[in-house]
């Protein structure tokens, strides 16, 4: 049994794949929320340092020795400088995307009046120093300048050349590839955007603390002020050291998903499923909609999200739905059946909540040999719904019920063992019933609880309704 990752921060499902489609819809309907990056105001000392770096860069004759990642010292800490000039970096001729003329070099963009852009990084921020290119057509009216990060310039580069650009630049903000990879990895393990902001902040503080711990000159400076005062001066008063906000982190995550979307779709199409588990979830759909212009009220577009998982807990197909009717997702299941058939695979089992109502409908899609069963989660939920919440022992009773489907040797707070055999689950259920259905005044057991327990039996590690409860 493959243990799932932590729940997705959007839809609370067990795998990161389940949040990819959520990210797409959220991106479309609520837009990219980000702080506008209008550039940073650099001191004259900083400008002078950057100018020295640019001169050193241009004096390197061997292009293989040129690096776009440099650094300068500001306020006793390192700030990265990203130089981006593909014409000089790759000795490459570029053409004006408007007029088709050959481009020539113009000046670098780093002076105070330029308001150079800042690029968010994982352990530090970077100052982006790009370059203007000059379109020198014979018609003086066509002469203009274009920045080296312009998308039309990047399209003229090969894939290998574009890979040397270790950052992404958008209208409102920019970020390094290291930061976007870190954010995406953290989200896949269940971290929230606010968690990630805190982690980045911790990286920065620890980096600064390390510098002061090994530098005697800086230690003398630290003796003149408090540690909290030092951090406030470093990170709150100097915009070059500011952290990416929660909105910036969300923007980076959504942009990264869009960039990698084709890969994820290919990955999902390549998944197989011998057994499927399906359900409607409602948390995601609450976040999908628009704000009405008339009264500024939030209007939800979908009722629910229908998800189909394979035996490993990976999403193999999904769809937003307006209702919970089978007709809305029948074509989705037919496509899944055909996709599996093209791989020589037949879906043999289906686990779901409304197994009685959909049994015949699912057999019509996947064939009469399909086993349709009530999944463990909803089977236990039918019992817990009968336990009065006002009872003092209700939480203990519900906790014992969850142990019914756990291996007896798996006693920790987190489940680590595989689901036990049907025989063991049935024995566990008998123990649970004998413990709580004892006639004691303090027990939360009800007649409804007895009815739901008797309605269930266990087969192939999942609950199944008794045969007389199935549709014929």
CA 314, CA 437: separation in Å to the nearest integer? 38
Distance, CA of 447 to CA of 431 (rounded, Å):
18
Q: How far is CA 64 from CA 116, 164, 166, 319, in A?
A: 26, 12, 16, 49
Statement: residue 318 has pLDDT above 60? yes
**What gap in Å lies between CA 63 and CA 19, rounded to an integer?**
42
Distance, in Å, from the CA atom of 400 to the CA atom of 380, rounded to the nearest integer, reads: 11
Contact 196, 183 (CB under 8 A): yes
CA 327 to chain centre: 31
pLDDT digits (tens, 9 = 90+) for 232-264: 555 555 677 788 899 999 999 999 999 888 988
Contact predicate 107/62, CB 8 Å: no
Q: Which helix (H) or strand (E) holds 318?
A: strand 315-321
pLDDT band at 77 (very low <50, low <70, confident <90, very high): low
Instruction: Give Cα 240 distance to the centre of its chain.
Output: 27
pLDDT at 323 over 80: yes
- In this structure, what DSSP letter does residue 235 have? I
Matching residue, tokens 């915009």: 239
- pLDDT at residue 148 greater than cutoff 60: yes
- Coil, strand or helix: which one is 176? strand
> Mind listing the pLDDT tens digit for each residue in 180-208?
999 999 998 889 999 999 999 888 777 76
Residues 382 and 446: beta-carbon distance below 8 Å: no
Maximum Cα interatomic distance, the chain, rounded to a whole number of Å: 98
What's the rounded mean pLDDT across residues 41-56?
Answer: 81
Task: Say if residue 350 is exposed, middle or buried (CB neighbours under 10 Å; 0-12, 13-18, 19+).
Answer: buried
Give dist(CA 6, CA 368) in Å, integer. Answer: 36
Return the top range by mean pLDDT from 140-144, 151-155, 238-242, 282-286.
151-155
**Ramachandran region of residue 60, left (φ > 0), alpha (ψ -120 to 50) or beta?**
beta
Helix, coil or strand: residue 461: coil
Instruction: Give the pLDDT of residue 2.
Output: 32
Q: Residue 172 — pLDDT band, cuts 50, 70, 90?
A: low
For 228, the enclosing helix (H) or strand (E) is helix 227-231
Q: How far apart are the first and last CA of the chain?
A: 33
Tell me the pLDDT tens digit for each residue of 386-410. 999 888 899 999 999 988 888 888 8
pTM of the full predicted structure?
Answer: 0.64
How far is C-alpha 196 from the chain's CA centre?
Answer: 11
**Quick one: what percent of the chain has pLDDT higher than 70?**
76
**Predicted pLDDT of residue 201:** 84
Distance in angstroms (rounded) separating the CA atoms of residues 401 and 317: 31
Greater pLDDT, 17 or 377 = 377
Structure confidence at residue 67 (pLDDT): 52
Query: Taking the CB of residue 315, how many other CB atoms lie within 10 A of it?
Result: 22
- What three-state secondary structure class fits 415? coil
**How far is 79 from 400, CA to CA, in rounded Å?**
55
Give strand pairing partners of 307: 279, 318
**Residue spans of beta strands (DSSP E) within 409-459:** 456-459
CB atoms within 10 A of CB 335: 12
Q: Is the pLDDT of residue 30 over 70?
A: no
* DSSP labels, 367-416: -TT-EEEE-HHHHHHHHHTTS-TTSTTHHHHHHHHHGGGS-TT--SSS--
Nearest one of 216, 279, 246, 255 to 76, comparing CA atoms:
216
Mean pLDDT estimate for the chain:
79
Instruction: List, in sequence order, every residue forming a beta bridge with 458; answer none if it has no partner.
Output: 463
């Amino acid at each position: 049994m493959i243990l799932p990752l932590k729940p997705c921060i959007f839809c609370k499902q067990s795998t990161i794949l389940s949040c990819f489609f959520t990210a797409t819809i959220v991106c479309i309907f609520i837009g990219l929320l980000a702080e506008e990056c209008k550039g940073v105001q650099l001191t004259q000392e900083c400008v002078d340092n950057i100018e020295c770096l640019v001169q050193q860069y241009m004096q390197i004759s061997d292009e293989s020795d040129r690096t776009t990642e440099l650094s300068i010292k500001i306020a006793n800490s390192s700030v990265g400088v990203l130089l981006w000039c593909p014409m000089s970096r790759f000795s490459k001729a570029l053409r004006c995307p408007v007029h088709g003329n050959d481009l020539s070099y113009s000046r670098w963009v780093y002076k105070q009046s330029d308001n150079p852009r800042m690029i968010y990084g994982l352990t530090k921020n970077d100052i982006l120093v790009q370059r203007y290119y000059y379109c020198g057509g014979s018609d003086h009216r066509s002469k203009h300048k274009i920045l080296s990060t312009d998308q039309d310039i990047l399209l003229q580069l090969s894939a290998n050349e574009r890979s040397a650009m270790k950052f992404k630049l958008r209208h409102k903000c920019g970020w390094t590839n290291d930061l976007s990879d870190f954010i995406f990895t953290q989200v896949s393990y269940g971290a929230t955007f606010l968690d990630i902001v805190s982690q980045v902040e911790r990286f920065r503080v620890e980096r600064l603390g390390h510098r002061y711990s090994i530098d005697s000159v800086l230690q003398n400076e630290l003796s003149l002020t408090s540690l909290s005062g030092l951090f406030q001066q470093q990170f709150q008063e100097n915009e070059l050291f500011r952290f990416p906000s929660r909105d910036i982190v969300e923007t980076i995550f959504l942009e990264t998903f869009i960039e990698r979307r084709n890969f994820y779709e290919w990955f999902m199409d390549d998944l197989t499923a011998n057994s499927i588990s399906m359900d409607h979830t409602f948390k995601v759909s609450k976040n999908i909609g628009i704000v009405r212009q008339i009264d500024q009220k939030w209007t939800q577009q979908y009722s629910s999200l229908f998800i189909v998982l394979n035996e490993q807990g990976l999403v193999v197909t999904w769809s937003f739905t307006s209702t919970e009717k089978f007709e809305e997702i029948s074509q989705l299941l037919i496509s899944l059946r055909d996709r599996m058939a093209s791989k020589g695979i037949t879906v043999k089992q289906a686990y779901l909540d409304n197994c009685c109502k959909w049994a015949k409908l699912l057999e019509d899609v996947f064939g009469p040999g399909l086993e349709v069963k009530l999944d463990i989660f909803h089977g236990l939920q039918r019992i817990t719904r009968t336990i009065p919440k006002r009872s003092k022992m209700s939480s203990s009773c519900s906790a014992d019920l969850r142990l019914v489907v756990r291996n007896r040797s798996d006693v920790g707070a987190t489940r680590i063992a595989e689901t036990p055999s049907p025989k063991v689950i049935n024995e566990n259920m008998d123990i649970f019933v004998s413990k709580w259905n004892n006639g004691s005044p303090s027990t939360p057991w009800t007649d409804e609880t007895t009815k739901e327990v008797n309605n269930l039996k266990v087969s192939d590690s999942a609950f199944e309704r008794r045969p007389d409860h199935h549709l014929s």
